[in-house]
Amino acid sequence: MSRRSVPVLCLILLLSLSGCSPAGGEAVQEFFAMDTLMRVQLSGPKAEAAVQAAVAEVNRLDRLLSRTGEDSDVARINAHAGDGGEVTVSQETAVLLAQALEASAATGGAFDVTIAPVMDAWGFGTSEAELRVPAQDELSALLPLVDSGALHVDTTRNTARLDAPGAELDLGGIAKGYAADRLMALLAGYDVSSALLNLGSSTIAALGTRPDGGPWRIALRDPQNEDGQLLVLALSDQVLSTSGGYERFFEADGVVYHHILDPETGMPARSGLLSVTVVSDQGAGADALSTALYVMGPEQALDFWRTRDTFECILCLDDGTVLVTEGLEDAVTFKGDANGYTCEIVRR
Amino acid sequence: MAIPVRSSAADRTRPTVWDGVIVLLVAAAAAALLWTLRPAAGSAVMLRITLDGTVVGEYSMEEAQALSPLAIDAPWPVTLEAEQGRIRVAESSCPGRDCVHTGWIDAPGEQIICLPNKLIISLIGEHDASTEDFDVIAG
């Protein structure tokens, strides 16, 4: 190299270091909705307007679907439980309730939106309640109220009715997935081709690709170590929903009680699973299924997967095995071996 | 035996004007490199407190430590503790106290969330995301 080329090289290096900042048209917003912290990040020609529209849409859905909202569709259905009155709701509430009933029927009741009274007994109903272990007598008295058969939905007339007095709906297990579906459709109208919608960590929608053109990379938390990760999933135009006992739990008399309740027993599901992740192009379905598969346990969950082609899943077992269904084989980069996990691909 | 190749510069005893120009250019390039790679002014870690979407306080970690324990007037009052570049929620009257259980945070990008209060305790600063192989953590 000649001596005179040295400064030239330095200058070229300098210019490359200063680089170019990413093109505009990116927007990010964090906000509280649906009892969790959400984060929407996207890029597109109308990024700021798209983000504001996304936040407004989630808040609108929250007002419709929140159990604690003063005049929400769900609160009004609950208020009329058992009085025979049909409640007129928005069309989307009716459609979502119908979806919830379908999920309940398909999973043999492992997912059930009428579990609210039992959730309240534990204090898992809202983030503001005190957590406690209910007495068995109390649970036994509440369990008959957990019955999706008491929920009647008419998607033609947009009405809903809960038959049993004291019964209550809680859409916490499906509403965020539904919000993901709504946002994916909404953002398409803003020409957004790249968005990551983090609807409270448990529900994440990956719209299009990263700004650099690659798929979005979603790490899956190690259920036993907050700072560790099991794997990284490369996803595009899909919704991911995760359910894990570690998300919300408390300890009483040396026993850990988590928030994923088995609708049959009213107790935290202990099915041999630490977490369940469902990936689908349909958010509401993914959300409901992640809870249902957790309650089912690994064997029943995989049997269920084999009968459907609408989703893929990742099951983290309490023996350290991570089962990945074959449709995700190419999307997964496994990292859990560092923490003692082993990964197996499950074939149909 | 091969004769070592010597450049013409090796035979000179006095630097030329061109040598001076090159020295100046290299020095300028080095200074520019240092300037480019200097720690950005905003890269010092800052504590940001956001309550229901509104930033209610922003402090350097030194300020936070001087103010510690720092009481936050939230619906469920919260007390922060800061020491040696790290921060935690020491006390909270919120129901689940998940914010307390989160423990210490010390790196830019880390947060403590108190859902009942709609409170976010964030550490802000230069965060080298390029070393991470993911965009978000699920779970």
Which pLDDT does position B5 carry in this prediction?
57
Half-sphere exposure of A75 (CA within 13 A, CB side): 10
- The partner residue sitting opposite A204, judged by closest CB among B32, B118, B138, is B138
Burial of A48 (0-12, 13-18, 19+ CB in 10 A): middle
Which pLDDT does position A294 carry in this prediction?
98
| B22/A4 Cβ within 8 A | yes
Confidence of residue B8 (pLDDT cuts 50, 70, 90): low
Question: What is d(CA B57, CA B43) in angstroms, rounded to the nearest whole number?
Answer: 18
* ipTM metric: 0.86
Question: What is d(CA A201, CA A221) in angstroms, rounded to the nearest whole number?
Answer: 10
Q: Nearest CA of chain A to the CA of B69: how many Å?
A: 24
Question: What is d(CA B80, CA B69) in angstroms, rounded to the nearest whole number?
Answer: 6
Start-end of H helices in A147-297:
175-188, 283-296
B80-117 core/surface letters (b: 16 or more CB in 10 A; e: else)? bbbeeebbbbeebebbbbbbbebeebeebebebbbbbb
pLDDT tens for each residue of A266-311: 999 999 999 999 999 999 999 999 999 999 999 999 999 999 999 9
Contact B138, A240 (CB under 8 A): yes
| B138/A250 Cβ within 8 A | no
Confidence of residue B34 (pLDDT cuts 50, 70, 90): confident
Enumerate residue ranges in chain A where pLDDT < 50: 1, 10-24
Tokens of residue B16, six digits: 């030329």
3-state SS, residue A91: helix
Half-sphere exposure of A176 (CA within 13 A, CB side): 30
Q: How far is CA B128 from CA A210, B43, B108, B124, B125, in A?
A: 17, 11, 9, 12, 9
| A217/B134 Cβ within 8 A | yes
Phi, psi angle pair for A116, to nearest 5°: -50, -45
| Mean pLDDT calculated for residue range B46-72 | 93
Tokens of residue A106, six digits: 């398909």
Lowest-pLDDT choice from A35-39, B10-14, B72-76:
B10-14
Amino acid at B90: A
B39-50 core/surface letters (b: 16 or more CB in 10 A; e: else)? eeeeeebbbebb
Name chain A contacts of B37, Cβ cutoff 8 Å. Answer: 17
| A242/B135 Cβ within 8 A | no
Q: Nearest CA of chain A to the CA of B61: how many Å?
A: 23
Amino acid at B103: G
Chain B residue with the nearest C-alpha to that of A10: B29
| A36/B133 Cβ within 8 A | no
Contact A329, A304 (CB under 8 A): no
pTM: 0.82
Place of tokens 């039992």: A118
